Structure 1
Amino acid sequence: MNDELLKRIQRLEYHQRLLLQLIKGEQAPFTKLIIEKNLDEEEVKAFHNLCEYMNNKMEEQKAEGFLYFHPLFQEFTSKLNSKLDAKETVIACIKEKVYLDLMKEFYKYVED
């Protein structure tokens, strides 16, 4: 079986698991965004790794007395998967309570 076909099957299986979560009545705008933007499981893992890194960096900066995190937000947007829009992602994560503290901080910097 060719690698591209296998990747597509794996993505479909992943999306199917996510859809089952949605059907159960969970409010999951970030999960919906994953499906809409056709992200695969590895891309979502990379997003979570990015958020973990950003969250840790924000906590370190807070401990050092930083109050503004716009440079951190800029770094986040530059490393964010190109399939995702920063504003849309931040809002979806807040609604789904994914990396809530980090995303609330980033929300201050998204353009209206």
Structure 2
Amino acid sequence: MESIEQKLERLEFYQTLLLKMIGTSQYPFFRLIMEKQLSKQDIEQFYALCDRLSDELKEQKADKFVYFYPLFQKFKESLHEKLQPAEVIAACLQQGLYPDLMKALKRNL
């Protein structure tokens, strides 16, 4: 009978194969999540961060702000330690996640 460790090892191997099958052009943010082995809770925190920052961006645009470096700083400081801002922004833009926010953040890279 297969042990739990053996099953887990097999699943990790299958995950690696699936990542290779997906390629980088399809769902790059989801791929990044798997490559960095982030948890569901990590991603929920990321989405909550982006929701908050998107709201702040809307408010700042309504107040005629044109520079959004403070938003970028908040994003960078709150981002999971396994993630780099440039790779996350690029992946989100390519996948169409939070496009307005990511475009504003990209200007600060």
TM-score under structure 2 length normalisation:
0.77
**1:29-80 deviation line (CA, Å, top 9, x unaligned):** 0000000110010100000000000000000111111111011101110111
Identity of aligned residues (%): 42
Query: Match for 1:63: what amino acid?
Result: A
Query: Match for 2:75: what amino acid?
Result: F
Q: How far apart, CA to CA, are the structure 2 residues paired with 1:75 and 1:36? A: 24
Q: How far apart, CA to CA, are the structure 1 residues paired with 2:47 and 2:82? A: 15
The structural deviation recorded for 1:27 is 1.3
Q: Which residue of 2 aligns with 1:46?
A: 45
Q: How far apart, CA to CA, are the structure 2 residues paired with 1:48 and 1:99? A: 9
> What is the correspondence of 1:1-112 to structure 2 with a 5 Å cutoff?
27-110=26-109
Q: Which has the larger radius of gyration?
A: 2
Q: How far apart, CA to CA, are the structure 1 residues paired with 2:45 and 2:29? A: 15
4+ residue stretches of structure 1 with deviation over 6 A?
none
Q: How far apart, CA to CA, are the structure 2 residues paired with 1:80 and 1:68? A: 20
Gaps of 5+ in 1: none
TM-score under structure 1 length normalisation:
0.75
Q: How far apart, CA to CA, are the structure 1 residues paired with 2:85 and 2:37? A: 16
